[in-house]
Amino acid sequence: MIVARTGNEAMAEAMRQINPDVVAAYPITPATEVVQLFASFVADGQVTTEFVPAESEHSALSACVGASAAGARVMTSTSSQGLALMHEILFIAAGLRLPIVICLVNRALSSPINIHCDHSDSLASRDSGWLQIFTENTQEAYDTTIMAVKMAEEIMLPAMVTTDGFIISHGMERIELIDDEKVPKWLGERKVVNNLLDVDNPITLGMLDLQDYYFEHKRQEIEAMNNCLPIIEKVQKEFGDTFGRYYPIVDEYKMEDAEVAILAMGSTGGTGKVAVDRMREKGKKVGLIRCRIYRPFPKEAMLNAIMKVKVLGVMDRADTLSTLGGHLYNDCRSILYESAKKPLMKNYIYGLGGRDISIEEIEEVFEQLLKIKDTGRIDKDIVYYGVRGE
């Protein structure tokens, strides 16, 4: 069925079709609508979900942890400060290997207070052991929300699926919905390994693990992250085979003969593709790489993509404040360490706090990258693109 939906509506629709056992949430701009709409599905009897309106995001995710440990299929939604307030529980969910899915609407972290998009919220949770999938548009947000449930349950790690705040969350697009009954059928039942409510086989969950076992349990969690990319790929293929929409680990656009490329995440992938088309019309050999699966970082696929070009502009919609540039830039620098041949790289920190990035600006970035290709020289590694006074 073809409909017009905002990103938030699409994620709520996906949640309705998934019909999770428990949703515990606290509303926050710009993710409010996701659970607001979901609450009305609950009230209207369209889902059988137990809805827990918690008193904070910390409580919401704590309730999710409890419910997931009891064997339920659990989801929530949040953004920015809300995710920051969940931070403590993020690690617990991952450490307990609970496949909770968060529909995360990317929004800048305070201070200054800002409700618009950048990626500082999810990237600040980068090391919490959650799968992180950045979507480019409403259709992808909808599809990925459904896929994430299956990925998380097979890998036994929680997952966050992100959309860019307001740009995707409140922007309306044409999307194709899957028939209601097909979604739960495709997902099947959650297979629970450790069930807290199995009274015949009582277990304790989340016990104390001092110097003698903490490291071993953490090592197990690391291993799950190390080995999960093939599972992610498999689930994406299964989704494609069933519903006809295939998604890559790393999205490559017109990269076959590209000499320079930009690498970005989220909605900038879409804007960038239009910029690529315009540059191509002018005969410029440019391409775009979009990092869709950000955690675990897809080392092989990313290397394969970025090694195709002579110059790479890495677009980061957040800064690490480490003096070393953005997150993506750091990850790419890291995977290139062992390569004899590497592209010249320039880091563009852009769009903080919802500062718009236009097609024209991305074309300008391409022009700069093409100039670097011609001269072989980068005058500045890290630039703050679109900030006044630079």
Q: How far is the CB of 225 from other proteins (least distance, A)?
A: 13
Closer to other proteins by Cβ: residue 156 or 314: 156
Closest listed residue to residue 314, CA positions, set 291, 297, 294, 282: 291
The string of DSSP codes covering 268-306 is HHHHHHHHHHHHHHTT--EEEEEE-EEES--HHHHHHHH
Q: Residue 197: which residues within 8 A CB-CB, separation 6 or more?
A: 70, 71
Q: How far is the CB of 205 from other proteins (least distance, A)?
A: 5
- The length of the chain in residues reads 390
Q: How far is the CB of 23 from other proteins (least distance, A)?
A: 22
Q: How far is the CB of 85 from other proteins (least distance, A)?
A: 23
Q: How far is the CB of 195 from other proteins (least distance, A)?
A: 9
Q: How far is the CB of 224 from other proteins (least distance, A)?
A: 8
Which residue's entry shows tokens 């309306």?
Answer: 172
Angstrom distance (rounded) from CA 345 to CA 310:
9
Closest listed residue to residue 296, CA positions, set 378, 350, 222: 222
**Which tokens sit at 142?**
């909808």
Closer to other proteins by Cβ: residue 219 or 341: 219
Q: How far is the CB of 69 from other proteins (least distance, A)?
A: 9
Closest listed residue to residue 104, CA positions, set 77, 123, 128: 77
**Which tokens sit at 273?**
């593709």
Closer to other proteins by Cβ: residue 181 or 216: 216
Closer to other proteins by Cβ: residue 209 or 257: 209
Which H or E run contains 164?
Answer: strand 159-164
The string of DSSP codes covering 339-389 is -SS--EEEEEEE-GGG----HHHHHHHHHHHHHHHHH---S-SEEEET-TT
| CB neighbourhood size of 235 (10 A) | 22
Closer to other proteins by Cβ: residue 42 or 224: 224
Closer to other proteins by Cβ: residue 62 or 77: 62
Q: How far is the CB of 217 from other proteins (least distance, A)?
A: 6
Closer to other proteins by Cβ: residue 215 or 246: 215
∠ CA 103-5-351, nearest 5°, is: 60
Closer to other proteins by Cβ: residue 72 or 178: 72
Closer to other proteins by Cβ: residue 199 or 321: 199
Residues that bind other proteins (CB under 8 A): 95-98, 156, 193-194, 202-209, 212-213, 215-217, 219-220, 223
Q: How far is the CB of 228 from other proteins (least distance, A)?
A: 13
**Which tokens sit at 230?**
């093939």
Which H or E run contains 160?
Answer: strand 159-164
**Which tokens sit at 88?**
């403590």
